[in-house]
Structures are given as C-alpha cells and as structure tokens.
C-alpha cells in the first residue's frame, strides 16, 4: 500500500480545512448553537420531557447528526470536485497510487473533519444543556461510521456534479429535509400511526435513532436495525465508488 500517497492527499485536504476554519468550523458551530437557543431554551422550556429526557438534551444527538451529514457531504464532494474542475485530477490518476488509496485519502480527510466538528459541537452543547452519554463507545462508533458513510456519499456527488451548483442540490434539496424529517427535533412515536410508517422509509431516521440511543438508551427503531441500515448504505456507496473507478465515469472523460 502506498502510504505516502494516502498521507499526501490526506494532509493536503486537512491543510485546506485548517485554512478555512471560520467557514468550516465556526459557521456550523454558531448555526447549531442558534438551534440550541431557539429550540432548546425557548421551545424546550414549554415542552414536557420526551421519554424521560428533557427536550433540550433530546435534540442534541439530532443536531450533531444534522451537522455531520451536511459537513461530510460538503467536505468530500468539494475535495474531489476541485481537482476535477482544475484538471489536477489527471495528475492524481496518473500517480503510482491505486483507486482504493485515492478514496482513502479523500474520504479519510473528509470523515476526520466531520468527526472533529461533531466533537466540537458536542462540547458546545454542554454550554446550553446538561446531558449524559450512556454508551460512549457506541456514540463514537455511530459518529465515525456516519461520517465515513456520508463522506463516501459526498465523494460520489463530487464526481457526479458537472457544475458548482450541482454540489449543493442533493445536500440542500434531499439530505437536509430528510434530516429535519428524520426525528432530529422529535420522536417519530409522536406522529400519527400512518406517518410513523411512512417515516421509516427515511434512512436518516435510523442514523439519528441509533445515535440517540448511544446517549440516552432510547430509540425509535431497534439499535441493530439502525446499525444494519448504516452499514448497508456504506456498502452501496462503496459499490458505486468501485464502479466509478472501474469505468472511469466523469474521471477520465
């Protein structure tokens, strides 16, 4: 394995992230803090507990997951689209580095950024609401697994996009609405029976449910199902990435 090649791609992407900390870290942290102020303090003070957890604490996992989803896709899609846009992707493809190593470098950096951001938001949340983490190991596991999975998804978007505007279509028009409707701010058990069944077709429900379980031991769906759905989505993304490099789709054209 060409570890030097992976390290070069990884360090380049991380260096770019550190050069834009205001946009990459400060902006999402401030946005999430506003959610805590509006929903946790203003609305939460007028709502009863949900499954024995205060509303302010209940929305912490959902808000962290919302940031992880959007930042993972954004970091990874921009990371691979920029070389395509500038033409430097051909230098990467002609270098003595395999497709697996290319994906490891780009996706690894994007996932690292997202995990770091998630931990920063987690620490920031303690300034607004008290909460405990019942299963720290599974919390980190869900955090890392989600970051890797959606970084792979963002990598696919970055290859598929033929213009800057397309980089934002799926995150804004698809992922963000699914996150809001996936139980970020409520339990799906609060919905009418019909809508509970419809909501189960939303894949983000399983991510948020499993992540919330790691905090409070409560979930809308079984934890094993949440983990299985996340792994299945990761496998689908891996298969698509394999096909992209196999066929050279939008990389060699």
**pLDDT tens digits along 89-110:** 888 888 888 889 999 999 999 9
Tell me the C-alpha distance between 26 and 117, whole Å: 9
Q: Where residue 88 falls among pLDDT bands split at 50, 70, 90?
A: confident
Count Cβ atoms within 10 A of the Cβ of residue 145 and give its class: 0-12 exposed, 13-18 middle, 19 or more buried: buried
What pLDDT does 205 receive? 94
Query: Which residues make beta-bridge pairs with 50?
Result: 53
Q: What is the greatest pairwise CA distance in the chain?
A: 60
pTM of the full predicted structure? 0.92
Q: Which are the contacts of 23, defined by CB distance < 8 A and separation ≥ 6?
A: none
- What's the confidence (pLDDT) of residue 42? 66
Distances (CA, A) of 180 to 47, 177, 196: 18, 5, 15
Confidence at 213, pLDDT banded by 50, 70, 90: very high
Written as six digits, the tokens of 97 are: 């580095």
Our measurement of the distance from residue 39's CA atom to the centroid of its chain's CA atoms, rounded to an integer in Å, reads 21
What pLDDT does 65 receive? 93
Q: How far is CA 122 from the centre of its chain?
A: 14
- What angle is formed at CA 17 by the lines to CA 11 and CA 23, rounded to 5 degrees? 180
């Amino acid at each position: 394995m060409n570890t030097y090649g992976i390290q070069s791609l990884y360090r380049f992407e991380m260096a770019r992230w550190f050069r834009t900390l205001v946009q990459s870290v400060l902006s999402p942290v401030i946005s999430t803090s506003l959610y805590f102020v509006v929903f946790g303090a203003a609305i939460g003070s007028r709502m009863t507990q949900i499954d024995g957890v205060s509303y302010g604490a209940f929305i912490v996992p959902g808000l962290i997951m919302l940031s992880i989803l959007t930042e993972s896709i954004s970091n990874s899609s921009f990371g691979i689209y920029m070389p395509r846009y500038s033409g430097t992707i051909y230098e990467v493809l002609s270098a003595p580095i395999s497709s697996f190593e290319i994906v490891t470098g780009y996706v690894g950096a994007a996932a690292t950024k997202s995990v770091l951001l998630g931990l920063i938001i987690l620490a920031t949340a303690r300034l607004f609401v008290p909460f405990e983490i019942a299963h720290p190991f599974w919390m980190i596991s869900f955090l890392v697994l989600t970051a890797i999975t959606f970084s792979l998804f963002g990598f696919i978007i970055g290859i598929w996009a033929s213009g800057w505007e397309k980089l934002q279509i799926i995150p804004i028009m698809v992922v963000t609405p699914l996150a809001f409707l996936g139980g970020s701010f409520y339990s799906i058990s609060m919905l009418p029976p019909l809508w509970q069944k419809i909501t189960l077709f939303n894949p983000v429900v399983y991510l948020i449910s499993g992540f919330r379980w790691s905090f409070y031991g409560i979930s809308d769906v079984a934890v094993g199902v949440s983990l299985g759905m996340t792994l299945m989505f990761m496998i689908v993304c891996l298969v698509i990435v394999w096909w992209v490099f196999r066929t050279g789709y939008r990389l060699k054209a």
